Amino acid sequence: MADRPITYREALSSALREEMRRDERVFIMGEEVGVWGGTYAVTRGFLEEFGAKRVRDTPISEMAIVGAAVGAAMYGVRPIAELMTINFAFVAMDAIVNSMAKVRYMFNGQYTVPMVIRTTTGGGKQLGATHSHAPEPIFAHFPGYYVAVPGTAYDAKGMLKASIRDDNPVMFVEHSTMLQRRSEVPDDEDFVLPIGKGDIKREGSDVTIVTYQKGLEYSLIAADELAKDGIEAEIVDLRWLRPLDIDIVIESFKKTNRCVVVEESLPMYNVGAEIAAQIQLHAFDYMDAPVQRVAAMDIPLPYAGKIEAMALPSPEKIIAAVKEVV
């Protein structure tokens, strides 16, 4: 079927609606997902189409939402639990790390937990330090579930559908500032993308930029500017933090011999550190310069808009890092 340009938000909504129509075991639960239509309007109209049994408004308790979803998944249905933002996932850490991630292992495979946690991440909206985290690497630290970080509408739809269909739990992390971004998306109810596979978003020969989500947007802008100076950047979009597709990174690095990792997370113990370690382990002999990292500043994000922007990654920071390694 033909592709059509839709927004990131529309891609998420389309994926959810198609999977709910496809499988009656799929249902949605979370704060304001029903009557209000979701914090970011992704589930608008779902209550009217699917009814209150399959679109469930919940109390304001992330621990209860995730805990109930784990129990429901063990029972045999396929819940999609929406957390308003990833900042509130910290409240549900025990249910995520000690229940969702461990049930299949603790019960020797007698139970599966086919559930998805949908949540949003990132700064840039002047929501203050406690509502502007980008802690995806924290969640990717724990084995037992997948962590998805789509950076385009195309990826968002294909990855969400794959997540809903999989028998393993998935932490599906969206970016709140990217909901209106458009890209071509197949108009196909069976369009899914493989779990754990990255993607080359731009071909290049001089430097590999490894990134995901909001970092992808910044990196594409930076790459166009770098090309004006004769520097061709290859952009590797990880798409998943767990499983991590390190093969696509190493393959690109062996071609370019230089790497910059871009992410919105804080600089300590982040994805960039893992990528740098993997490159030196698997491709040390190809390394012509140290791996550079572009991340948020190591501070709680400020509220003031211009100062907040200074603390976050930007195309200008990426350009500077690339020019340092080349």
State yes or no: is 62 an active-site residue. yes
Give, in order, the Cα–Cα distances in Å from 30 to each of 35, 80, 159, 163, 229: 11, 8, 20, 18, 48
Query: What span, in angstroms and rounded, lies between the C-alpha atoms of 112 and 104?
Result: 5
Q: How far is CA 127 from the centre of its chain?
A: 20
Place of tokens 């996932």: 89
Contacts of 311 (CB under 8 A, 6+ apart): 123, 296, 297, 299, 301, 302
**Nearest CA-CA partner of 299 in 310, 315, 290, 291:** 310
Phi first, then psi, for residue 162 (nearest 5°) are -65, -40
The enclosing H or E element of 294 equals: strand 292-294
- Do the beta carbons of residue 104 and residue 157 sit within 8 Å? no
Give, in order, the Cα–Cα distances in Å from 282 to each of 195, 257, 301: 23, 12, 35
Place of tokens 């919105």: 264
CB atoms within 10 A of CB 280: 12
Place of tokens 């093969």: 247
Catalytic residue, from 18, 19, 62, 136: name it. Answer: 62
Catalytic residue, from 32, 131, 141, 232: name it. Answer: 131
Catalytic residue numbers, as ranges: 62, 131
